[in-house]
Structure 1
Amino acid sequence: MLFPTLTPNAPDRPDAVVIGDDRLSTEDLVGGATSVAERIAGAHTVAICARPTVETVLAVVGCLIAGVTAVPVPPDSGVRELEHILSDSGAQAWLGTPADGSTLPAIPVRRYARSWHWHPEPPEHSTALVLYTSGTTGLPKGVPLTRRAIAAGLDALADAWAWAPDDALAHGLPLFHVHGLVLGVLGPLRRGGRLIHTVRPTPEGYAGAASAGASLFFGVPTVWTRLAADASAAQQLSSARLLVSGSAPLPVPVFEQIADLSGHRIVERYGMTETLITVSTRADGERRPGWVGLPVRGVETRLRDGDTDVAHDGESVGDLHVRGPMTSSGYLNRPEATRESWIGDGWFATGDVAVIDPDGMHRIVGRRATDLIKSGGYRIGAGEIETALLGHPAVREVAVIGVPDDDLGQRIVAYVVREPEGGEANSGASGAGDALIEHVGAELSRHKRPREIRFVDELPRNAMGKVQKKLLG
């Protein structure tokens, strides 16, 4: 059963789900979601405009009760993206308030409707959700996630993070991605704990959730960066049990600032829409800044260079492959893309490059397409150089790329946005660049030093805030 804690006989918790100023008791959630399930009986796929509301939670849980595939849609989707998601997924209707501009019919979610009709548990191999990836090229790809995959992924994280029914999870993340929806909503519902959603992931909201008894906090690096800059809010998280970061690399300075302010060393983890979370630091294990930990229960990983295994020596870079019970089996309606990424025997080629140390700790060093630099016979990950540079007080932002070089094959170049006050590395362009190059040489192997530092006012980013390295160089 996907939600063993949500049955008509479950103990009633008055604040099972809190979103902003709205809340659902366990009884509200079970009765309201069951009413939704009755309303959509017979449907196969519905779209949900995933605004951060209790209606979204009722809609998703109603779909899971009824065995109807839910397609969470970003509320700010553009017209072209929206049309693609609706047609590609085969959504028959909106469940709840539709997205602006859509002509697809809508089935209302009645906030105060209640039903106690019993629905049999859908087959575990059935598709529960179709999530759309936020890829850097082309239209997003749909990823079907089965009930079995979701249950396996959440149970593996419960093991890694000692996630218990008495935990109260707080976050303000979007409800159309793995992080905010699968981990952030379905996680506490499966574990039986409370959910406090802050609507927006602000330091004030997280501090307020701490005052309300939250014990577990989820955030992306931007959230933790903002908290690190708000000492009072960060200090209030000292009452928490665990802080977790994911969806992008967490800068080491932010890790250290949060540790100093809250007393917590953040748990970092790694995953994708296609695989859910496959690697994580453990609550009872080492938390090493810049490293995402060990494979979670049931997961295997490997590093490859073509058909050759790469050594787990903490230094050698390879393509990261994963397999486990929480991975999807392919993209929706994309057989060629599926064959490129699912490469046989259950292995999924993540497209990321990583290093693994002799103890099995993983560090992600970037995307293969943009972050693997081949220089002087070495395979070098841009991410570890960026992490080293971000540890210098003169560096606010950085992007490292490889540019063609007749001698080396590729030459390492770092684009740096400087802090207004950064000591010697702000003395002048030439001297500043030399200081940063030597800083990397002291932190990492000498062959990983940038050969050139280029200072810029800002880095090019897409609408999701991701740096567009292809526009550099």
Structure 2
Amino acid sequence: MRPLFLEAIAQWPADRVALQTDSGAFSYGYLRKAAQCVADALRDALSSDVGARILMPAWPDWQYVATLWGVWQGGGVAVPFSLGATAEELSYLITDSEATALVCPAVLAPMLRPLCVAMGIGFWEVETVVATQPAPTEWPAIQPAARALMIYTSGTTGKPKGAVHTHGSLAAQIQTLVTAWQWQATDKTLLTLPLHHIHGLVNILGCGLWAGATVVILPKFDAGKVWEIFAQSDFTVFMAVPTIYSLLVEAYRAASPAQQAGYTQACQAMRLMVSGSAALPVTLLNAWQEISGHFLLERYGMTEIGMAISNPMEGFRKAGSVGKPLPGVSIRLVDEAGQVIAQAHEAGEIQVKSPCMFLEYWRKPDITKASFSAEGWFKTGDIAEQDEEGYYKILGRNSTDIIKSGGYKLSALEIEGVFLQHPEVAACAVVGLPDERWGEVVAMAVVMQAAASSAAPDLLHWGKAYLASYKIPKQVIVVAELPKNAMGKVVKNEVKQWFAKE
């Protein structure tokens, strides 16, 4: 039995274009053969450990898809990671996931091979293995319950946790969205999001290829480039985070009237535009509708549960709302006392039951267990309310230690842990500040050691060696001490108020 995803894409003609990238156009047939080569090269690594974890950089090109499919073909677990990951962050992922090997495109080999050698894991270049002829192999039968994907997500415990999805939960996610958003083989979509998150990996790439569509990958987001591509091609679907829509609006307004007319026409030719991964300001929703003619479809989901709530493809979409539960998904709101909320407009934590649910946090059984209620509901940590018509509105997080910035979910505790390693930092508190473009931006209040000589810019420069650029604080203030409650815990709401006064 082939993995469910590979079974789905096997139906598409070998010569149909699956991907268009800076490297060229790649057919379904080419990618299927390339995946077989990857699986063949990894045979020993995969056979030595059932569900072996294979790390892969989220490289926005054909090599990513060939590696992902190849790992699944051989029965492994794909562990994608950010291209911005530092050596320290990647070392943590290798250790925590107990990875057997890493597969990457040749261009990244000089950077990644030494680390793999130092940490004693296997290393392969995609181009090298694809150039070989795969040997006839009897691949193992892959059951729906088998582990398929591990996505690292930040949490209140500080260090990222590996959220594990099975072939069955991934297939459920994709099939739900393909049906709800009416994906077709005739669709063409532009992918500008990172491929180590559910939004880019499942909602766009996964759904598009499952449906037999063409996915055009832009290696790096550039608002002007996106508008140029829109105007020159026949896209039907576009999905992005609010930050991207905000930047596109800015670029549109800076364009000439003739360019604007072409951009608007290109948008109006599309059938669907979706926003997610962060709250969509109503002002941005209205601005986008004005220039594109599209009332953005806003939805709600997260790494662990896939997509759970969505405004309808057809029918009434409500501004400021993420819609209603998707088919097969059950949602309830629970108050601080653990009681289920039945009244409209009363805030509570979103709890979910779904066939799209993740299996576990890798090697963290206690945290996994604590993430579910006694009745099996996953506790999202997000606060929402439901109106009389059944539409949900997201109000925020129940934890001040999670920051949503530009579609990323960042852990304040992880960032604090890094800066506390600086010899001149006595204490620090990291918070998220509201921002129209990014949703939230990272800010840090820091207490320096008495004899410290470093200034805030020096701290940030130092931090870039240990943290990806999007985790580096955008604002820093130096303070004498941090506000704490009777239990000695930093009162972060007070810290946020300091920045409001700046």
User: Per the shorter chain, which TM-score range?
Assistant: 0.7 to 0.9
1:200 shift after superposition = 1.8
Answer yes or no: is the 8 Å Cα contact 2:156–2:399 preserved in 1.
no
Query: Could you tell me which of 21, 24, 28 is aligned with 1:22?
Result: 24
SS at match of 2:215: strand
SS at match of 1:333: coil
Query: Could you tell me which of 6, 26, 42 is aligned with 2:9?
Result: 6
**1:134–1:212 distance in 2 versus 1, CA, 3 Å:** farther
Query: Could you tell me which of 437, 443, 457 is aligned with 1:460?
Result: 443
Answer yes or no: is the 8 Å Cα contact 1:47–1:95 preserved in 2.
yes
**1:331–1:14 distance in 2 versus 1, CA, 3 Å:** same
* Residues 218-229 of structure 1: pairs in structure 2 closer than 5 A: 218-229=239-250
1:203 aligns with 2:234: no
1:269 shift after superposition = 0.9
The answer for the alignment partner of 1:57 in structure 2 is 65
Aligned-residue Cα RMSD (Å) equals: 2.9
Q: Deviations over 1:234-279 (max 9, x none)?
A: 5232211101111111111111111111111111111111111111
Answer yes or no: is the 8 Å Cα contact 2:191–2:205 preserved in 1.
no
Paired letter, 2:380: T
Q: Deviations over 1:66-115 (max 9, x none)?
A: 22111101121123321121111111111124554623431221255565
SS at match of 1:369: coil
SS at match of 1:363: strand
1:472 aligns with 2:496: yes
Query: Could you tell me which of 229, 236, 251 is aligned with 1:230?
Result: 251
The answer for the alignment partner of 1:47 in structure 2 is 55
Paired letter, 1:322: V
* Residues 264-413 of structure 1: pairs in structure 2 closer than 5 A: 264-305=294-335, 306-313=337-344, 315-370=345-400
1:256 aligns with 2:286: yes
Distance in 2, Cα, partners of 1:66 & 1:415: 44
The structure with higher relative contact order (CA 8 Å, sep 6+) is 2
1:170 aligns with 2:190: yes
Structure 1, unaligned runs of 5 or more:
373-382, 384-413, 420-457
Answer yes or no: is the 8 Å Cα contact 1:168–1:195 preserved in 2.
yes
Answer yes or no: is the 8 Å Cα contact 2:321–2:393 preserved in 1.
yes
* Residues 413-452 of structure 1: pairs in structure 2 closer than 5 A: none
**1:73–1:299 distance in 2 versus 1, CA, 3 Å:** same
Q: Which moved more, 1:98-107 or 1:32-41?
A: 98-107
1:33 aligns with 2:46: no
**1:417–1:189 distance in 2 versus 1, CA, 3 Å:** closer
1:467 shift after superposition = 9.0
Answer yes or no: is the 8 Å Cα contact 2:372–2:378 preserved in 1.
yes
1:307 shift after superposition = 2.4
Query: How many pairs does the alignment contain?
Result: 394
**1:234–1:291 distance in 2 versus 1, CA, 3 Å:** farther
**Percent sequence identity over matched residues?**
29
Structure 2, unaligned runs of 5 or more:
47-51, 253-259, 405-431, 445-468, 476-491, 498-502
Distance in 1, Cα, partners of 2:16 & 2:175: 25
The TM-score with structure 2 as length reference comes to: 0.72
Q: Which moved more, 1:92-101 or 1:80-89?
A: 92-101
Q: Deviations over 1:1-43 (max 9, x none)?
A: 3234432x63134531112343211121111111111111241
The answer for the alignment partner of 1:76 in structure 2 is 84
Distance in 2, Cα, partners of 1:54 & 1:47: 16
Query: Could you tell me which of 225, 239, 245 is aligned with 2:269?
Result: 239
Q: Deviations over 1:374-399 (max 9, x none)?
A: xxxxxxxxx9xxxxxxxxxxxxxxxx
**1:340–1:332 distance in 2 versus 1, CA, 3 Å:** same
SS at match of 2:367: helix
* Residues 122-161 of structure 1: pairs in structure 2 closer than 5 A: 122-135=142-155, 138-161=158-181
Paired letter, 2:123: A
SS at match of 2:169: helix
**1:415–1:155 distance in 2 versus 1, CA, 3 Å:** closer
